[in-house]
Amino acid sequence: MFSKPSYPLIGAMLAALAAIALAAYVAWQVTRPVPIATSGITRSVAVPAQIKIGGPFTLTDHEGKRVTDADYRGKLMLIYFGYGFCPDVCPTELQNIAVALDEMGDAAAAVQPIFITVDPERDTVDFLAEYVSNFHSRMVGLTGSSKEIDAAATLYRVYHAKVKSGSDEDYLVDHSSFVYLMGRDGTFLTMFRGATDPKKIATIISDYLKSRT
């Protein structure tokens, strides 16, 4: 009964294996990270190629001026989303950004540090003016209507949600904590996890400045 191998069956099995292999290949293509970086250290966060990060926003800066992302063309944008009342994570990240820029020396002039609030109710223009100046003299603080902030956060895939507490005024905002590096044309280059070593951030930005003018 088994003396004659069933060729059609083997053929069907091979076809099934080929289909599985193809499906696996397609899945790998879709999920493989965007190749980033030019030098040796493991850096930044791998982002699947099909995930778009960033895009056009219209907000108000800490001087009360209406601005769009296009106002920062020609410079790399280093963007962080957070809020002024954040007890620890935001101040640490903004400090890291400032240290990274200082680390870069004169080359830092090609980078615009930007803080976008996810708490526009409390982070007013006046509040932001003082807040960002605590971290870096060139840091721009951006606020806007809740709708404008939500739109910008959505483009950068930033999660944020108010955490209710005792009083209405005294609340925390849960939020994701990444630092985004955008190119001179406003397109996404890479992003850094929270608590990335500022020296590493400085090295990566410097590499981008050298490799893409």
- Positions touching Ni ion (CB under 5 A) are 82, 86, 89-90
Of residues 36 and 86, the one with the C-beta less far from Ni ion: 86
Of residues 89 and 107, the one with the C-beta less far from Ni ion: 89
In whole angstroms, the minimum distance from the beta carbon of 85 to Ni ion comes to 9
In whole angstroms, the minimum distance from the beta carbon of 84 to Ni ion comes to 9
Of residues 82 and 120, the one with the C-beta less far from Ni ion: 82
Which region, left, alpha or beta, applies to residue 105 given φ > 0 means left and ψ of -120 to 50 means alpha?
Answer: left
Round the CA-based radius of gyration of the chain to a whole number and report it. Answer: 23
Whether 172 and 97 have beta carbons less than 8 Å apart is answered as no
In whole angstroms, the minimum distance from the beta carbon of 120 to Ni ion comes to 14
Which stretches does DSSP call E strand in 46-177? 58-61, 66-68, 76-82, 111-117, 140-143, 160-163, 172-175
Distance CA 120, CA 4 (A): 76
Of residues 53 and 86, the one with the C-beta less far from Ni ion: 86
Element (H, E) at 50: none
In whole angstroms, the minimum distance from the beta carbon of 25 to Ni ion comes to 40
